[in-house]
Protein backbone atom coordinates (compact mmCIF):
# COMPACT_ATOMS: atom_id res chain seq x y z
CA UNK A 1 0.00 0.00 0.00
CA UNK A 2 1.06 3.57 -0.70
CA UNK A 3 0.33 5.87 2.25
CA UNK A 4 0.17 9.56 1.40
CA UNK A 5 0.93 12.26 3.96
CA UNK A 6 0.22 15.97 3.78
CA UNK A 7 2.95 17.59 5.87
CA UNK A 8 2.99 21.24 4.76
CA UNK A 9 5.26 22.12 7.69
CA UNK A 10 8.03 20.39 5.73
CA UNK A 11 9.83 23.59 4.68
CA UNK A 12 10.01 24.77 8.28
CA UNK A 13 11.02 21.31 9.50
CA UNK A 14 14.09 21.49 7.26
CA UNK A 15 15.49 24.08 9.70
CA UNK A 16 15.44 21.54 12.53
CA UNK A 17 18.82 20.33 13.69
CA UNK A 18 17.44 17.70 16.07
CA UNK A 19 14.26 15.81 16.92
CA UNK A 20 11.69 16.02 18.30
CA UNK A 21 10.88 19.37 16.72
CA UNK A 22 7.64 21.33 17.08
CA UNK A 23 6.65 23.44 14.04
CA UNK A 24 4.74 26.70 14.55
CA UNK A 25 1.07 26.41 15.50
CA UNK A 26 -0.14 27.72 12.10
CA UNK A 27 1.75 25.00 10.25
CA UNK A 28 0.38 22.31 12.56
CA UNK A 29 -3.14 23.68 12.09
CA UNK A 30 -2.76 23.64 8.30
CA UNK A 31 -1.71 20.00 8.38
CA UNK A 32 -4.52 19.05 10.71
CA UNK A 33 -7.25 20.86 8.76
CA UNK A 34 -6.18 19.74 5.28
CA UNK A 35 -4.69 16.30 5.98
CA UNK A 36 -7.25 14.71 3.63
CA UNK A 37 -5.91 16.54 0.52
CA UNK A 38 -3.80 13.62 -0.82
CA UNK A 39 -7.07 11.84 -1.62
CA UNK A 40 -7.24 14.19 -4.61
CA UNK A 41 -4.13 12.69 -6.24
CA UNK A 42 -3.96 9.23 -4.64
CA UNK A 43 -4.80 6.12 -6.65
CA UNK A 44 -7.48 3.55 -5.93
CA UNK A 45 -6.60 1.51 -2.85
CA UNK A 46 -4.01 3.96 -1.48
CA UNK A 47 -3.99 5.15 2.12
CA UNK A 48 -4.06 8.74 3.38
CA UNK A 49 -2.85 9.65 6.86
CA UNK A 50 -5.35 11.83 8.75
CA UNK A 51 -6.12 12.75 12.35
CA UNK A 52 -9.84 11.90 12.17
CA UNK A 53 -11.09 9.57 9.44
CA UNK A 54 -14.75 10.60 9.73
CA UNK A 55 -13.90 14.30 9.52
CA UNK A 56 -11.69 13.62 6.48
CA UNK A 57 -14.54 11.84 4.68
CA UNK A 58 -16.87 14.79 5.30
CA UNK A 59 -14.31 17.36 4.17
CA UNK A 60 -13.58 15.45 0.98
CA UNK A 61 -17.26 15.07 0.15
CA UNK A 62 -17.71 18.84 0.37
CA UNK A 63 -15.30 19.34 -2.52
CA UNK A 64 -17.69 17.58 -4.91
CA UNK A 65 -15.03 16.34 -7.33
CA UNK A 66 -14.40 12.79 -8.56
CA UNK A 67 -11.81 11.00 -6.49
CA UNK A 68 -10.33 7.53 -6.03
CA UNK A 69 -11.54 5.24 -3.26
CA UNK A 70 -8.84 5.57 -0.61
CA UNK A 71 -8.46 4.41 2.98
CA UNK A 72 -8.10 7.10 5.63
CA UNK A 73 -5.62 5.99 8.29
CA UNK A 74 -4.85 7.53 11.66
CA UNK A 75 -1.40 7.36 13.30
CA UNK A 76 -2.74 4.51 15.44
CA UNK A 77 -3.43 2.48 12.27
CA UNK A 78 0.10 2.79 10.91
CA UNK A 79 1.69 0.11 13.09
CA UNK A 80 -0.53 -2.63 11.64
CA UNK A 81 -0.11 -1.23 8.12
CA UNK A 82 3.66 -1.11 8.57
CA UNK A 83 3.68 -4.80 9.47
CA UNK A 84 2.66 -5.62 5.89
CA UNK A 85 5.19 -6.78 3.32
CA UNK A 86 4.66 -3.94 0.83
CA UNK A 87 4.48 -0.37 2.11
CA UNK A 88 5.49 2.90 0.46
CA UNK A 89 5.30 6.29 2.17
CA UNK A 90 4.53 9.25 -0.12
CA UNK A 91 4.73 12.51 1.87
CA UNK A 92 4.39 16.10 0.74
CA UNK A 93 8.10 16.35 1.51
CA UNK A 94 10.79 14.27 3.23
CA UNK A 95 12.58 15.60 6.31
CA UNK A 96 14.02 14.19 9.53
CA UNK A 97 11.09 15.49 11.60
CA UNK A 98 8.57 13.46 9.59
CA UNK A 99 10.81 10.39 9.68
CA UNK A 100 11.08 10.68 13.46
CA UNK A 101 7.27 10.82 13.70
CA UNK A 102 6.83 7.82 11.44
CA UNK A 103 9.32 5.71 13.39
CA UNK A 104 7.47 6.45 16.63
CA UNK A 105 4.23 5.41 14.91
CA UNK A 106 5.67 2.03 13.96
CA UNK A 107 6.77 2.52 10.35
CA UNK A 108 9.89 0.41 9.62
CA UNK A 109 13.09 2.34 8.96
CA UNK A 110 13.46 0.43 5.68
CA UNK A 111 10.47 2.41 4.33
CA UNK A 112 12.16 5.75 5.03
CA UNK A 113 15.11 7.63 3.52
CA UNK A 114 18.38 7.09 5.38
CA UNK A 115 20.30 9.87 7.13
CA UNK A 116 22.48 10.55 4.08
CA UNK A 117 19.48 10.94 1.78
CA UNK A 118 17.73 13.24 4.25
CA UNK A 119 20.80 15.45 4.53
CA UNK A 120 21.07 15.68 0.73
CA UNK A 121 17.38 16.58 0.44
CA UNK A 122 17.88 19.24 3.12
CA UNK A 123 20.96 20.68 1.40
CA UNK A 124 19.37 20.78 -2.06
CA UNK A 125 16.20 22.34 -0.60
CA UNK A 126 18.25 25.28 0.68
CA UNK A 127 17.62 28.30 -1.60
CA UNK A 128 21.39 28.69 -1.87
CA UNK A 129 21.66 25.41 -3.79
CA UNK A 130 19.32 26.47 -6.61
CA UNK A 131 20.88 29.95 -6.70
CA UNK A 132 24.35 28.49 -7.24
CA UNK A 133 23.71 25.26 -9.17
CA UNK A 134 20.56 25.87 -11.20
CA UNK A 135 19.77 29.53 -11.84
CA UNK A 136 23.11 30.53 -13.48
CA UNK A 137 23.00 27.48 -15.79
CA UNK A 138 19.42 28.24 -16.84
CA UNK A 139 20.03 31.88 -17.77
CA UNK A 140 21.61 31.03 -21.13
CA UNK A 141 20.00 33.86 -23.14
CA UNK A 142 20.17 37.35 -21.58
CA UNK A 143 17.71 38.63 -24.19
CA UNK A 144 14.89 36.44 -22.85
CA UNK A 145 16.06 35.29 -19.38
CA UNK A 146 17.18 37.03 -16.21
CA UNK A 147 17.82 36.26 -12.57
CA UNK A 148 20.33 36.77 -9.80
CA UNK A 149 20.57 35.54 -6.23
CA UNK A 150 23.38 35.81 -3.68
CA UNK A 151 24.03 33.98 -0.43
CA UNK A 152 25.26 36.44 2.19
CA UNK A 153 27.05 35.04 5.24
CA UNK A 154 28.05 38.32 6.91
CA UNK A 155 26.43 41.73 6.97
CA UNK A 156 29.13 44.31 6.21
CA UNK A 157 29.44 47.79 4.70
CA UNK A 158 29.80 46.45 1.16
CA UNK A 159 26.51 44.59 1.40
CA UNK A 160 24.85 47.62 2.99
CA UNK A 161 26.00 49.83 0.06
CA UNK A 162 24.66 47.27 -2.42
CA UNK A 163 21.34 47.27 -0.60
CA UNK A 164 21.11 51.06 -0.93
CA UNK A 165 21.50 50.83 -4.73
CA UNK A 166 18.14 49.24 -5.46
CA UNK A 167 15.17 47.22 -4.26
CA UNK A 168 15.90 43.79 -2.79
CA UNK A 169 14.20 40.72 -1.44
CA UNK A 170 15.86 39.05 1.55
CA UNK A 171 14.91 35.43 2.19
CA UNK A 172 15.69 32.80 4.75
CA UNK A 173 17.45 29.86 3.02
CA UNK A 174 14.80 27.51 4.43
CA UNK A 175 11.30 28.88 4.97
CA UNK A 176 7.71 28.19 4.00
CA UNK A 177 5.53 30.16 1.58
CA UNK A 178 5.33 33.84 2.46
CA UNK A 179 7.38 33.48 5.63
CA UNK A 180 11.01 34.41 6.17
CA UNK A 181 10.91 37.16 3.50
CA UNK A 182 11.70 40.86 3.83
CA UNK A 183 11.49 43.57 1.15
CA UNK A 184 13.93 46.49 1.21
CA UNK A 185 13.65 49.54 -1.06
CA UNK A 186 15.94 52.55 -1.66
CA UNK A 187 15.56 55.05 1.13
CA UNK A 188 14.22 52.49 3.59
CA UNK A 189 16.03 52.85 6.91
CA UNK A 190 18.09 49.93 8.14
CA UNK A 191 16.13 49.63 11.36
CA UNK A 192 17.46 47.71 14.36
CA UNK A 193 14.55 45.30 13.87
CA UNK A 194 15.52 44.50 10.25
CA UNK A 195 19.23 44.29 11.04
CA UNK A 196 18.44 42.00 13.98
CA UNK A 197 16.34 39.78 11.70
CA UNK A 198 19.18 39.54 9.16
CA UNK A 199 21.80 38.68 11.78
CA UNK A 200 19.48 36.16 13.42
CA UNK A 201 18.87 34.38 10.10
CA UNK A 202 22.61 34.26 9.41
CA UNK A 203 23.23 32.88 12.90
CA UNK A 204 20.52 30.20 12.65
CA UNK A 205 20.80 29.20 8.99
CA UNK A 206 24.34 30.21 8.03
CA UNK A 207 23.37 33.01 5.66
CA UNK A 208 20.57 34.98 4.05
CA UNK A 209 19.51 35.06 0.39
CA UNK A 210 19.63 38.44 -1.36
CA UNK A 211 17.75 38.87 -4.64
CA UNK A 212 16.83 41.95 -6.69
CA UNK A 213 13.14 42.94 -6.76
CA UNK A 214 11.65 42.44 -10.21
CA UNK A 215 8.79 44.16 -11.98
CA UNK A 216 6.72 40.98 -11.86
CA UNK A 217 4.08 40.32 -14.50
CA UNK A 218 3.18 36.69 -13.86
CA UNK A 219 3.93 33.84 -11.43
CA UNK A 220 4.17 30.37 -12.94
CA UNK A 221 6.05 27.14 -12.49
CA UNK A 222 7.00 23.82 -14.04
CA UNK A 223 6.19 20.58 -12.25
CA UNK A 224 8.22 17.36 -12.53
CA UNK A 225 8.52 13.89 -11.01
CA UNK A 226 11.89 12.37 -10.16
CA UNK A 227 12.13 8.58 -10.58
CA UNK A 228 15.02 6.13 -10.52
CA UNK A 229 15.00 6.29 -14.32
CA UNK A 230 15.17 10.08 -14.58
CA UNK A 231 13.04 13.21 -14.43
CA UNK A 232 9.63 13.44 -16.11
CA UNK A 233 7.89 16.71 -16.92
CA UNK A 234 4.31 16.88 -15.59
CA UNK A 235 3.02 20.26 -16.69
CA UNK A 236 2.70 23.98 -16.05
CA UNK A 237 1.45 25.73 -12.93
CA UNK A 238 -0.10 29.19 -12.97
CA UNK A 239 -0.49 30.59 -9.47
CA UNK A 240 -0.96 33.77 -7.48
CA UNK A 241 1.05 35.08 -4.55
CA UNK A 242 0.45 37.96 -2.16
CA UNK A 243 3.62 39.37 -0.53
CA UNK A 244 5.36 36.09 -1.38
CA UNK A 245 2.64 33.91 0.17
CA UNK A 246 0.72 31.37 -1.89
CA UNK A 247 -2.82 32.54 -2.76
CA UNK A 248 -4.19 30.12 -5.36
CA UNK A 249 -3.77 28.11 -8.57
CA UNK A 250 -5.48 28.18 -11.94
CA UNK A 251 -7.16 24.92 -12.94
CA UNK A 252 -7.01 24.66 -16.72
CA UNK A 253 -5.89 22.52 -19.64
CA UNK A 254 -2.22 22.64 -20.56
CA UNK A 255 -2.84 24.44 -23.86
CA UNK A 256 -4.82 27.15 -22.03
CA UNK A 257 -2.01 27.73 -19.52
CA UNK A 258 0.62 27.69 -22.26
CA UNK A 259 -1.37 30.18 -24.33
CA UNK A 260 -1.49 32.60 -21.40
CA UNK A 261 2.25 32.41 -20.76
CA UNK A 262 3.02 32.64 -24.50
CA UNK A 263 1.42 36.08 -24.56
CA UNK A 264 4.59 37.18 -22.73
CA UNK A 265 7.29 34.55 -23.39
CA UNK A 266 7.89 32.56 -26.58
CA UNK A 267 7.17 28.83 -26.41
CA UNK A 268 10.67 27.93 -27.57
CA UNK A 269 12.09 29.78 -24.53
CA UNK A 270 9.87 27.77 -22.19
CA UNK A 271 10.91 24.55 -23.96
CA UNK A 272 14.58 25.44 -23.58
CA UNK A 273 14.14 26.12 -19.85
CA UNK A 274 12.32 22.81 -19.36
CA UNK A 275 14.99 20.86 -21.25
CA UNK A 276 17.83 22.54 -19.35
CA UNK A 277 16.22 21.78 -15.98
CA UNK A 278 15.98 18.09 -16.84
CA UNK A 279 19.52 18.08 -18.27
CA UNK A 280 21.04 19.73 -15.18
CA UNK A 281 19.15 17.81 -12.49
CA UNK A 282 19.07 14.30 -14.00
CA UNK A 283 22.67 13.44 -13.00
CA UNK A 284 22.13 14.83 -9.49
CA UNK A 285 18.74 13.79 -8.09
CA UNK A 286 17.50 10.28 -9.02
CA UNK A 287 20.09 8.52 -6.85
CA UNK A 288 19.09 10.37 -3.68
CA UNK A 289 15.48 11.46 -4.18
CA UNK A 290 12.39 10.10 -5.88
CA UNK A 291 9.18 12.10 -5.86
CA UNK A 292 7.62 15.38 -6.96
CA UNK A 293 9.73 18.40 -7.86
CA UNK A 294 8.57 21.94 -8.66
CA UNK A 295 10.39 24.97 -10.02
CA UNK A 296 8.77 28.37 -9.41
CA UNK A 297 9.38 30.99 -12.11
CA UNK A 298 8.29 34.52 -13.04
CA UNK A 299 7.64 36.60 -16.10
CA UNK A 300 9.15 40.03 -15.41
CA UNK A 301 9.49 43.32 -17.23
CA UNK A 302 13.04 44.64 -17.70
CA UNK A 303 13.30 48.01 -19.47
CA UNK A 304 10.05 47.29 -21.28
CA UNK A 305 11.10 43.78 -22.37
CA UNK A 306 9.40 40.64 -21.08
CA UNK A 307 11.82 38.07 -19.67
CA UNK A 308 11.57 34.86 -17.67
CA UNK A 309 13.25 34.27 -14.33
CA UNK A 310 13.74 30.50 -14.82
CA UNK A 311 14.22 29.61 -11.16
CA UNK A 312 12.82 31.69 -8.33
CA UNK A 313 12.68 28.63 -6.09
CA UNK A 314 13.18 24.90 -6.41
CA UNK A 315 10.90 22.75 -4.26
CA UNK A 316 12.14 19.21 -3.72
CA UNK A 317 8.64 18.15 -2.66
CA UNK A 318 5.07 18.14 -3.89
CA UNK A 319 3.70 21.60 -4.64
CA UNK A 320 0.29 23.18 -5.06
CA UNK A 321 1.13 23.10 -8.75
CA UNK A 322 1.09 19.29 -8.63
CA UNK A 323 -2.26 19.45 -6.81
CA UNK A 324 -3.62 21.76 -9.52
CA UNK A 325 -2.47 19.35 -12.23
CA UNK A 326 -4.27 16.49 -10.49
CA UNK A 327 -7.45 18.56 -10.03
CA UNK A 328 -7.40 19.82 -13.63
CA UNK A 329 -7.93 16.23 -14.74
CA UNK A 330 -10.94 15.93 -12.41
CA UNK A 331 -12.86 19.17 -13.01
CA UNK A 332 -14.61 19.66 -16.37
CA UNK A 333 -14.01 23.39 -16.81
CA UNK A 334 -11.54 26.11 -15.92
CA UNK A 335 -11.40 27.06 -12.26
CA UNK A 336 -9.34 28.31 -9.35
CA UNK A 337 -8.26 26.41 -6.25
CA UNK A 338 -7.39 28.21 -3.05
CA UNK A 339 -6.42 27.57 0.55
CA UNK A 340 -8.74 29.64 2.72
CA UNK A 341 -8.57 30.70 6.36
CA UNK A 342 -11.73 31.60 8.23
CA UNK A 343 -12.63 31.56 11.92
CA UNK A 344 -9.33 29.98 12.92
CA UNK A 345 -9.49 27.06 10.46
CA UNK A 346 -7.98 26.33 7.08
CA UNK A 347 -10.09 25.17 4.18
CA UNK A 348 -9.68 24.20 0.55
CA UNK A 349 -11.95 25.60 -2.13
CA UNK A 350 -12.47 25.05 -5.85
CA UNK A 351 -14.30 27.72 -7.82
CA UNK A 352 -15.51 27.33 -11.39
CA UNK A 353 -14.42 30.38 -13.43
CA UNK A 354 -15.97 29.27 -16.71
CA UNK A 355 -18.73 31.86 -16.42
CA UNK A 356 -16.20 34.60 -15.63
CA UNK A 357 -14.89 34.35 -19.19
CA UNK A 358 -18.22 35.39 -20.73
pLDDT in tens, 27-83: 999 999 999 999 999 999 999 999 999 999 999 999 988 888 999 999 999 988 866
**Are residues 169 and 204 both part of a single domain?**
yes
Rounded average pLDDT over 279-297: 95
Q: Is residue 128 part of a domain?
A: no
Query: What is the domain range of residue 222?
Result: 214-357
Confidence grade of residue 358 (pLDDT, cut at 50, 70, 90): very low
How many Cβ atoms are within 10 Å of 331's Cβ, its own excluded?
18
Strand partners, 90: 4
- Select from 191, 212, 233 the last residue of a domain: 212
Which conformational region is residue 14 in: left (phi greater than 0), alpha (psi within -120 to 50 degrees), or beta? alpha
Beta strands in 202-244 (DSSP E): 208-212, 215-227, 230-242
- The proportion of the chain whose per-residue pLDDT surpasses 70, expressed as a percent, equals 97
Instruction: Mark whether 157 and 81 lie in a shared domain.
Output: no
Residues 99 and 170 in one domain: no
**Are 308 and 229 contained in the same domain?**
yes
One domain for residues 332 and 250:
yes
Q: Could you give the number of structural domains in the chain? A: 3
**Cα separations (Å) of 83 from 1, 111, 155?**
11, 11, 52
Last residue of a domain, one of 194, 212, 230: 212
- 185 with 252, same domain: the answer is no
- Residues 344, 224, single domain; the answer is yes
Assigned domain for 118 exists: no
- Please say which residue of 212, 237, 260 terminates a domain: 212
pLDDT of residue 148: 95
pLDDT at 66: 87
Q: What are 11-29's pLDDT values in tens digits?
A: 999 999 899 999 999 999 9
Q: In the predicted model, what is the mean pLDDT of residues 188-197?
A: 90
Average pLDDT over residues 147-157: 91
Q: Are residue 348 and residue 233 in the same domain, yes or no?
A: yes
Query: Confidence class of residue 85 from pLDDT cuts 50, 70 and 90?
Result: low
Q: 18 to each of 15, 28, 95, 98, 333, how far by Cα in Å?
A: 9, 18, 11, 12, 46
Please report the pLDDT score of residue 356 as a whole number: 52
Amino acid sequence: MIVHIFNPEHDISLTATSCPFTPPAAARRLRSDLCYLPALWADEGDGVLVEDASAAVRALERLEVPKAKVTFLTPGDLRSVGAGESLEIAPWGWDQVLCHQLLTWGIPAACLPDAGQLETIRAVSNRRWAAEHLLPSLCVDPETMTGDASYVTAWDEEIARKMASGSWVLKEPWSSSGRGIRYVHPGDPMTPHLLGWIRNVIRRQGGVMMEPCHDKVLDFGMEFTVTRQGIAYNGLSLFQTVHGAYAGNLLAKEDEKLSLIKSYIAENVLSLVRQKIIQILTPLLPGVYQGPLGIDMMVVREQGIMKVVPCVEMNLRRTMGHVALALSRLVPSKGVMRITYEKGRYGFSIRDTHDDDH
